[in-house]
Structure formats: structure tokens, C-alpha cells
Structure 1
């Protein structure tokens, strides 16, 4: 009886588990309450582009290589070297949940200094 109860508790969490690499590949994620800012992924999930709020035009501001650490964590690394004396910018996105076309992501700080991680919400387009 205890095993049945335990299985009944786990089934909803298993059903909600997602392979976020498959979910976001070929999609653009736009920050909730933004018109353009966000990130898009290539169809195979290996390339990402970051967008900023730039007024009328919505074009990529930063091209990144995506390295998937597991099915819900992507490390995005700057593709074009901006400064010979500085390391590339790195972004770590840990996808946490999906509810319809909304997705919650933990933005893990990977830069200089100590800054807190952020929870960001995106709309999947």
C-alpha cells in the first residue's frame, strides 16, 4: 500500500518533467512584459541569440554557442571575440518549469563578482 501511495505522489512530477532542450529548440523566448528582449535557439539547440529591447527593430544583439549540460541546463558562450584580453561572456540558463507557453528559467550568475541568481519568466514563441 505504501508503494502505491508513493507512486501516486510521483506520477504528477514525472508527467511535468520535460526535456527543455527539445522544448526551446527552434523557438524564441521573450521576457514576460517585454516586446523583444529574450533569447532564441536554433532548431538543433546548438546556437542561441540574445535580444535586447531596441525600440522598433528586434534583431539579435549577441550570438552565442549553446552547450547543453543536461536536458534542463544550457551554458551559452559568446561566439565572437570582442576583446583579445577578456574571456568570453558566459550565461547559464537552468530551465525550471513550463506552463503552456510560459517557461521559468533560473539565470545562474557566471560573471565577475558575487551577484545573486535570478528567476526569469519567458513566453515561448
Structure 2
């Protein structure tokens, strides 16, 4: 039974793959969008794109916490008093050109984490 579940469900923790290598240098576009998503340029730099602005996005630094968790940190300081925006992502699954990320909520209030599906472009 467990072999069947393993064959049907692809779990990051169950398979020793180099997630960093799988998604670095790739553009992850949100399912249902043309542009919105992330571009992990290399292991240090990334860009976050909105659907309304496909050409210039939010410049970010990348810091990998472990094999399947990374933090994106705003690179350019918008003013002298605000801390940088940060986004923590856990890679839940990679299956071919499909990637599922869980964004861990780091903002104000008590909101739930957000699981989003992407396709590699």
C-alpha cells in the first residue's frame, strides 16, 4: 500500500532531490496567470512579478534555510524606516514542470499560510 502511495504522490521529504537546483534559474508562473510569479535567477537573487507588470518586478535576495525552504528578502530599501519585506516559501512538491509552494505568513494579523501552484516557464 505504501508503495502505491509513493508512486501516486510525489513528496519532497520522501525523495532526495536537489530542490535548489531544480528551481534555480527558472521562472515560476502562477497557474492561471501569464506573468505573476517568481524568477529565481541564481542562488542569491530573485525577482517577484505581478500580473500587471511583467517587465520589472520586485528585486529580492534569496536565502535557503534547508533543502526545501527559502526566504526572499526585499533587496532595495524603499525608505529609511521600514524593514525589508520578506517571503518564506516551503517547496511542497515538484512534478515535472509543476511546482507547489507554501508561503508561510509573516505579516500582521493571524492569517493562514498560502499554498500556490506554479508552472515552470
TM category, shorter? 0.7 to 0.9
How far did residue 15 of structure 1 move?
6.8
Distance in structure 1 (CA, Å) of the matches to 2:51 and 2:21:
26
TM-score of the superposition, structure 1-length normalised? Answer: 0.82
Query: What RMSD over aligned residues (CA atoms) do the two structures have, in Å?
Result: 2.3
Aligned to 1:112: 108
| Within-5 A mapping of 1:14-33 | 16-33=15-32
TM-score of the superposition, structure 2-length normalised? Answer: 0.85
* Long gaps (5+) in structure 2: none
Distance in structure 1 (CA, Å) of the matches to 2:22 and 2:50:
22
* Long gaps (5+) in structure 1: 1-5
Distance in structure 2 (CA, Å) of the matches to 1:84 and 1:99:
42
| Within-5 A mapping of 1:1-125 | 16-42=15-41, 44-54=42-52, 58-125=54-121
The alignment covers a number of residue pairs equal to: 117
Distance in structure 1 (CA, Å) of the matches to 2:14 and 2:90:
19
Distance in structure 2 (CA, Å) of the matches to 1:15 and 1:91:
25
Which deviations, in whole Å up to 9, do the C-alpha atoms of 1:45-98 show, x marking residues without a partner? 2111000011xx622320000000011111000000012111100000100111
